[in-house]
Structure 1
Amino acid sequence: MKNTSFTTAAVIGAGTIGLSWTALFAGHGLTVRVSDPRPDLAEAVAAALAEFTPHLAAQGLDVDGLADRVQLAGSVAEAVRGADAVQENGPESVEFKKDLFATLVAEAPSHALLLSSSSAIPSTAFTGDLTDASRVLIGHPFNPPHLIPLVEVVPGERTSEDAVQAAVDFYAFLGRVPVVERKEMPGFVGNRLQNALNREAIYLVEQGVVTPEDLDAVMTNSLGIRWATVGPFLGSHLGGGPGGYRHMAEHIGVSMKQMWAGLGNPAQGPEETERLIEAVEKAYGSSTYSELAEARDRKQLAVLSALDSARTEEN
């Protein structure tokens, strides 16, 4: 794993995440080979590239000839042939990933990084039978990866340190922010934090405290703004005033700890789940998925642009 020059990437699985990766890879000048058994693969890739081209251009990427850099592969073996990095985006199934990564190890070049976009399954769970698991690790993005910078780099028990560094180099080359997590936990870090927040959000709606749209208003007009600029720990450090995190932990933190025991555990049986679904559909069902996703991505680009400008001013 000494090669850190990336010219060709394979995308295995062309769902929402895989198509986003495809656009990002091509936007950074890589030759991209895409494999997926879906019958509308050509149409899906073309539509995604057309939709995401403005997003890539807004990030200063070269979108001239973008589609020319993307090739459709007739099989996984064809897709990974000559690849420097392989990004898998298949189902969240241990057995599926076991079979697929056995093929990747057999067919991909010996220097190729074998990366999984798995949202919750650590790579050790599906690499036990592989002849070579040293190049296999998690590269978990947040949707859509061509916009959201974070990639969680999570090595398995048999992943080499060279592969970890190569993965960091690969995602940094793509303009992402790779964060290495040194202990495998289901869901990794980002999704565990998201699930903890979502659990309390569901509980508050379930208890009739707030509607789904008002809860979203709370987030987007407070914590969402704060967390776009600082994380929970720096936020708490600043929340402690001149005394910093120590003051927060020793004073305000006491009342926060008292709240932990009362955090919600939503019932979410069939009836509760149906009521929640209906409430969310009432709040947002008047708009199509495409309309909601376009608005989300436009706002996310605006946030990223503002943060980039702020960083430039700091430097």
Structure 2
Amino acid sequence: MDNKIHQINKIAVVGTGVIGNGWIARFLAQGFDVIAFDPAEGAEQRTQKAIDQAWPSLVKIGLADGAAQNRLTFMPTIEEAVCEADLIQENVPEREDLKKSVLASIDAYAKPEAIIGSSTSGIMPSTLQEGLKHPERLIVAHPFNPVYILPLVELVAGKETSAAVMDRAKNFYASIEMKPLIIRKEIEGHLADRLMEALWREALHLVNDGVATTEEVDAAIIYGAGLRWAQMGPFLTFHLAGGEKGMRHMLEQFGPTLKLPWTKLEAPELTDELKEKVITGCETHAGDTTIAEMEEKRNAFLVELLDLVESYWPETTATEKVVVKQ
């Protein structure tokens, strides 16, 4: 496929939960027409509410020419939603059978040159390609919540995905101010979620074993590792820990003593007692602050943090910025 011929101008979003609505808000803010489909009752009203909540943050980030909330249209059928789209973003619940069924419908009704991106957080694209008439145009395009602010999108090719589709997808997502990260090999959970799940596993161990409360675990990340990771990530952070000789010295000096905690890989059993510790801890920590209030504070923080990250670390080799004319 020729990138110049197959421009992405019209987008369809199938499934309008938290992630689907996040995509819609980002696409609208970037000046696109968006067609949405979700058979759930009240979906259109929930989407409009989500966009209203996201829009102030998007205004602070900066709207593209032509950005407008009224460029969103809901369609009554999946066929009507995807038939004219250049890119379809699928976001239905994380059930393999449901995703395969929905993707088969999208594949049947979408025009041949359209890209199909699944927002799945854990299923491999080769699995989702099974049974499709045009498996070469399906990829995983996995974002992070809130999609309209966080720039990372993991792009994963299946066994039958064409290189041209991956190239078009990378260029497109970069053009809407995202940081596309090409995952080199298919693996359940892709990359970023596997890292977050590893931290989550250890956090559960610490709470379960009475080492720390949920609030104390959060504080350890907020005021320690999290501040450093926002700029450099875990590898360069450890590289600095090795002094002038960097990672080489760090591994020689600290590697042996850290082997035990590094290799505690098994997750704790999620007993009723552990669940209650986690739930009570979070509710106590949050206090009287509502979820809506927490989301508003999170969004304001992330908008400011992104500016700071970009000022200190404007480029990365893994997610190079690609500018594309729409």
TM-score, normalising length from structure 2?
0.91
1:86 is matched with which residue: 88, 93, 96? Answer: 88
Residue 215 of structure 2 corresponds to 213
Alpha carbons 1:6, 1:30 under 8 Å: kept: no
**Counterpart residue number, 1:139:** 141
Is 2:30 the partner of 1:14?
Answer: no
After superposition, the C-alpha distances for 1:154-201 in whole angstroms (9 at most, x for unaligned) are: 111111111111110111011100001121111111111011000111
**2:10 corresponds to 1:28:** no
Q: Percent identity?
A: 36
Could you report, residue by residue, the CA deviation over 1:92-119 in whole angstroms, capped at 9, with x for unpaired residues?
1111111111111111111111000001
Residue 52 of structure 2 aligns with which residue? 50
C-alpha contact 1:149 1:177 (8 A) present in aligned 2: yes
* Other-structure match for 2:294: 292
Cα deviation digits, residues 204-228 of structure 1 (max 9, x gap): 1111111111111110001111110
Question: Which of 253, 262, 278 matches 1:276?
Answer: 278
1:251 matched residue in structure 2: 253
SS in 2 for 1:62: coil
When structure 1 is superposed on structure 2, of 244-253 and 191-200 the one drifting more is 244-253
**How far did 1:79 drift?**
1.0
Q: Residue type of the partner of 2:56?
A: P
CA distance in structure 2 between the aligned counterparts of 1:298 and 1:309, rounded to whole angstroms: 17
Structure 1: how far apart are the matches of 2:56 and 2:135? Answer: 38
Partner AA of 1:2 in structure 2: D
Counterparts of 2:131 and 2:25, CA distance in 1: 32
Worse-matched range after superposition: 18-27 or 59-68: 59-68
The match for 1:118 is 120
Which deviates more from structure 2 when the two are superposed, residues 264-273 or residues 171-180? 264-273
Range with greater deviation from structure 2 (95-104 or 262-271): 262-271
Q: Which moved more, 1:189-198 or 1:3-12?
A: 3-12
How big is each residue's C-alpha offset from its partner over 1:268-303, in whole Å with a ceiling of 9 and x where there is no partner? 222322232222222225222111111111111111
Q: Greater shift after overlay, 268-277 or 14-23?
A: 268-277
Distance 1:137 1:111, change over 3 A: same
Q: Decide whether the 8 Å contact of 1:200 with 1:264 is kept in 2.
A: no
SS of corresponding position for 1:255: coil
- Point out where structure 1 has 5 or more consecutive residues left out of the alignment: none
Q: 1:63 to 1:43 in 2, by over 3 A?
A: farther
Q: TM-score, normalised by structure 1?
A: 0.94
Superposition CA RMSD, Å: 1.7
**CA 1:261 to 1:135, structure 2 compared with 1: closer, same or farther past 3 Å?**
closer
CA distance in 1, matches of 2:300, 2:18: 17
Q: C-alpha deviations, 1:236-285, integer Å up to 9, x for none?
A: 11211110111112222222224324567423222322232222222225
Distance 2:177 2:235 in 1: 24
Q: How many residues align?
A: 312
Residue type at the aligned position of 1:152: E
Partner of 1:304: 306
One-letter amino acid matched to 1:148: L
Q: Is the 8 A contact 1:7 1:29 kept in 2?
A: no
Q: Decide which moves more: 87-96 or 54-63.
A: 54-63
Structure 1 residue runs of 4 or more that deviate by more than 3 Å after TM superposition = 62-65, 261-265, 309-312
Residues 140-165 of structure 1: per-residue CA shift (max 9 Å, x gap): 00111111111000111111111111
Q: Which fold has the larger relative contact order, with Cα–Cα distance below 8 Å and residues 6 or more apart in sequence?
A: 2
Of 186, 191, 197 in structure 2, the residue corresponding to residue 189 of structure 1 is: 191
Asked if the contact 1:19–1:45 (Cα under 8 Å) also holds between the matched residues in 2, the reply is yes
Equivalent position of 2:226 in the other structure? 224
Q: SS in structure 2 opposite 1:33?
A: strand
Separation of aligned partners in 2, 1:53 and 1:259: 43
Q: In structure 2, what is the Cα distance between the partners aligned to 1:263 and 1:11?
A: 37
C-alpha separation in 2, matches of 1:63 and 1:285: 41
CA distance in 2, matches of 1:210, 1:153: 36
AA paired with 1:247?
A: H
Please, which of 38, 42, 62 is the counterpart of residue 40 of structure 1? 42
Q: How far apart are the structure 2 equivalents of 1:169 and 1:56?
A: 21
Q: Which moved more, 1:204-213 or 1:261-270?
A: 261-270
Residue 172 of structure 1: which of 174, 192, 195 is its match? 174
Which whole-Å CA distance do the structure 2 matches of 1:65 and 1:196 have between them? 38
Indicate if the aligned counterparts of 1:56 and 1:63 stay in contact, CA closer than 8 A. Answer: no
Give 3-state SS (helix, strand or coil) of 1:179's partner: strand
Q: 2: distance between equivalents of 1:90 and 1:262? A: 34
Q: Which runs of 5+ in 2 are unaligned?
A: 315-326
Q: Give the superposition deviation at 1:311.
A: 4.8
